[in-house]
């Protein structure tokens, strides 16, 4: 008898909430994104709610927006993920810890070493979100005048992934024999020197950290473009997608999982988790009132600046009450830009309306309602192959997180759609992902 599918739930933090005005909401913690005590509370609540993972997004520059908008943004400051997550590993036991690390502005040896260390420190709960960086301002923080071209970023990312995973395979699982009597710490035959030379990277190896507990930390990706989808199909084990309708979700799900089969990978070894902005109320009217209140706190300067970043073009000079003009090509995310342009055309939105929308929940899937109606929608997406779960975005903290854990999770558990206890000690155990074989050593 086939088992019914179970939801996987991640918690998306950017660095705390995706909503521009979250820090202004009544009862919210305005300093949540830079207060370690608050983070400890958040991850303990997530673990109480049996979430699979806490996901911390990251960017390597102050956002490229006018000061009038920047001064209103809580994203101007945040912890470095690979400094924060090891500390959070100490105060949790089961929660997965996923961090973003750019393949454009990092070296693979650094990334491999840090994530291997996090996996050991956490007992096998690390995940790496592989990104190519979308903020052009990052280039100037790393000695470049311009962002790398989109296709070039993805070609480098593919090679970067091969190097990092090759470094994680530097040692056989049983390489460290630590024979006290013989005085031999490791078996030299179980160490591999990568000695990689490619179009973008040259890395000798081996890594000076033992093979991670999980073999490799879980590989996460968020590609929506053609290049991003192909990279996800070839490499990812979790994908954070961004459809805002079930039809779009089903098309993305079928496309990426179909590409996996063409790559010789089992679709079961990839979990697709659309971002879901969830607002919970005792009634639909109350939930909508919370969202309306939150959106009303978005300052117009913030919305226009955010729209300019997402489109890769300054929109402040446009007629705000007119339709969105044609947008020239740029080095911004092509899929994200096209999604916004298509939405504006389809819904006949003015520039002002579009700016207000992206200044809020960034045109993602919104689940607004009671615990029962939210669970209804999650169940529909899961059973109709629109997703394997969700990357939940909370409207404000701590209230939005507490509402979800205390009210929505029990409803999902009642329907037997979500776990009541963790399946195992590692992130792979809980996601149902196989441990990767070491490419250089058998066993």
Q: Please state the domain extents for the chain.
A: 8-281+364-431, 299-359
Q: Between β-strands 196-197 and 53-56, what pairing exists: parallel, antiparallel or unpaired?
A: unpaired
Three-state secondary structure call for residue 369 = strand
pLDDT in tens, 62-114: 877 778 778 888 888 889 999 999 999 999 999 999 999 999 989 999 999 99
Considering the domain 8-281+364-431 in this protein, what is its CATH number? 3.20.20.30
Q: Is the pLDDT of residue 44 over 90?
A: yes
Hey, how many other C-beta atoms are within 10 angstroms of the C-beta on 37? Answer: 10
Hey, how many other C-beta atoms are within 10 angstroms of the C-beta on 180? Answer: 8
**pLDDT > 90 in the chain, percent:** 67
d(CA 255, CA 272): 11
* pTM, entire model: 0.89
* 375 CA to centre of own chain: 22
The kind and range of the H/E element at 241 are strand 238-241
Q: In which band, very low, low, confident or very high, does the pLDDT at 1 lie, cut at 50, 70 and 90?
A: very low
Beta partners for residue 53, in sequence order:
10, 96
The values of phi and psi at residue 153, to 5°, are: -60, -40
Three-state secondary structure call for residue 108 = helix
In this predicted model, which residue has the larger pLDDT, 159 or 138? Answer: 159
Three-state secondary structure call for residue 102 = strand
**Cβ contacts of residue 30 below 8 Å, gap of 6+?**
23, 24, 74
Q: Between β-strands 271-280 and 238-241, what pairing exists: parallel, antiparallel or unpaired?
A: parallel
Beta partners for residue 273, in sequence order:
240
CB 249 within 8 A of CB 381: yes
d(CA 20, CA 28): 13
């Amino acid at each position: 008898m086939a088992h019914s599918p179970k939801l996987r739930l991640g918690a998306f933090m950017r660095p705390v909430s995706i909503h521009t005005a979250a820090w202004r909401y009544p009862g919210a913690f305005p300093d949540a994104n830079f207060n370690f005590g608050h983070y400890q509370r958040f991850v303990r609540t997530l673990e109480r709610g049996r979430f699979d993972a806490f996901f911390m997004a990251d960017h390597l520059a102050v956002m490229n927006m006018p000061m009038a908008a920047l001064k209103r943004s809580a994203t101007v400051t945040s912890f470095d993920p690979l400094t924060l997550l090891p500390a959070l590993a100490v105060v949790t036991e089961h929660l997965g810890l996923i961090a973003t690390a750019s393949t454009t502005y990092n070296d693979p040896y650094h990334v491999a070493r840090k994530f291997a260390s996090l996996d050991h420190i956490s007992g096998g709960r690390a995940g790496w979100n592989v990104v190519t960086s979308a903020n052009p301002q990052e280039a100037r923080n790393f000695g470049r005048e311009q962002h790398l071209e989109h296709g070039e970023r993805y070609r480098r990312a593919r090679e970067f992934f091969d190097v990092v995973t090759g470094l994680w395979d530097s040692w056989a699982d049983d390489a460290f024999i630590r024979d006290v009597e013989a005085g031999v710490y490791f078996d030299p035959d179980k160490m591999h020197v990568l000695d990689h030379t490619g179009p973008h990277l040259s890395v000798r190896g081996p890594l000076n950290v033992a093979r991670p507990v999980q073999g490799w930390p879980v590989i996460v990706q968020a590609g929506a473009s053609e290049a991003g989808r192909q990279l996800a199909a070839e490499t990812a084990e979790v994908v954070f997608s961004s459809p805002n309708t079930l039809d779009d979700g089903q098309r993305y799900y079928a496309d990426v999982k179909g590409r996996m089969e063409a790559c010789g990978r089992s679709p079961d070894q990839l979990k697709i988790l659309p971002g879901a902005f969830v607002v919970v109320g005792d009634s639909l009217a109350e939930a909508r009132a919370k969202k309306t209140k939150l959106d009303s706190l978005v300052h117009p300067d913030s919305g226009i600046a955010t729209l300019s970043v997402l489109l890769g073009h300054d929109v402040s000079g446009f007629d705000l009450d007119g339709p969105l003009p044609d947008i020239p090509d740029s080095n911004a995310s092509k899929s994200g830009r096209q999604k916004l342009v298509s939405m504006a055309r389809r819904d006949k939105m003015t520039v002002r309306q579009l700016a207000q929308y992206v200044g809020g929940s960034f045109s993602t899937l919104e689940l607004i309602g009671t615990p029962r109606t939210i669970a209804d929608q999650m169940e529909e997406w899961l059973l109709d192959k629109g997703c394997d779960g969700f990357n939940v975005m909370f409207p404000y903290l701590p209230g939005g997180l507490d509402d979800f854990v205390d009210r929505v999770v029990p409803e999902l558990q009642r329907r037997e759609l979500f776990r009541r206890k963790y399946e195992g000690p590692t992130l792979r155990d809980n996601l149902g992902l196989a441990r990767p074989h070491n490419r250089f050593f058998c066993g």
